[in-house]
Amino acid sequence: MAQAKSLTIAEFERVLKSISVGRYSARDRAMLLLSFWSGMRVGEIAALKIGDVLSSDGNIKEEIRLKAEQTKGSKGRTVMIGSRLCDELAIYIASIPTINPNSPLFFSQKSNGHFNSNALAQKFRRMFDLTGIDGATSHSGRRTFITHLASKGIGVRVLQSLAGHRSIATTQLYIDVNDEMKRHAVNMI
């Protein structure tokens, strides 16, 4: 099975532009940004509750503490949330009519009012298909997140921790090598 495509900045911006209109544009943008800017898995995003991202004082948390039942490996982990993502999540939270910490962060008209991992994976696939990006899947955000950080010189041990991988070998499989990275490498000589 082929790996999910890692998106270029231009492709990512194209997807953001395509989802910027519509009834659920704020929700769709927040879901996509969680994948691309924090490296969360689609199942982790689907499992989020409002209380996972919103503190009791009404601020967006800088760290999301995922419980074992919210993760792929049934092992809790902490997801770091950068300032840009905090700002985006605050915009999305402001669009939610009723704030209940125990409610799903992302509502769906189907799936009993919330997304499950399969429904969210299909949603992501439709986002990519509408923009004509071949090979992109719900895992593309994670791969893009890890690849972009690697291209900025972030060490593989940090990437492993951010991704929640048990093995560095797994993390290394996520890193795409592109011409820009190779050009940067040879120019360091």
Q: How far apart are CA 32 and CA 141, in angstroms?
A: 7
The pLDDT of residue 111 is 58
Interval 183-188 mean pLDDT: 84
Domain extents for the chain?
9-138, 141-186
Residues listed for the chain: 189
E-strand ranges in 41-183 read: 63-66, 77-80
86-118 confidence digits (pLDDT tens) = 999 999 999 998 889 999 999 887 756 788 999
Helix axis angle for 9-18 and 25-38, nearest 10°, is: 160
Closest CA to 181 of 148, 157, 141: 148
Q: What's the pLDDT band for 72 if we cut at 50, 70, 90?
A: confident
The pTM for the full model equals 0.88
Window from 55-64, 110-119, 142-151 with minimum mean pLDDT:
110-119
Average pLDDT of span 161-176: 86
83, HSE (Cβ side, Cα atoms, 13 Å) = 0
Instruction: Please choose, from the candidates 124, 109, 153, the residue with its C-alpha nearest in 3D space to the C-alpha of residue 42.
Output: 124
Q: How far apart are CA 148 and CA 38, in angstroms?
A: 12
pLDDT digits (tens, 9 = 90+) for 22-50: 889 999 999 999 999 999 999 999 999 99
Q: What is the pLDDT of residue 1?
A: 56
User: For residues 104 and 44, is the Cβ–Cβ distance under 8 A?
Assistant: no
To the nearest 10°, report the CA torsion of 87, 181, 44, 51: -20
Average pLDDT of span 167-173: 86
For the domain with range 9-138, which CATH number is right: 1.10.443.10, 3.40.50.880, 3.40.250.10, 3.40.140.10? 1.10.443.10
- At 73 the pLDDT is 77
Amino acid type, 25: S
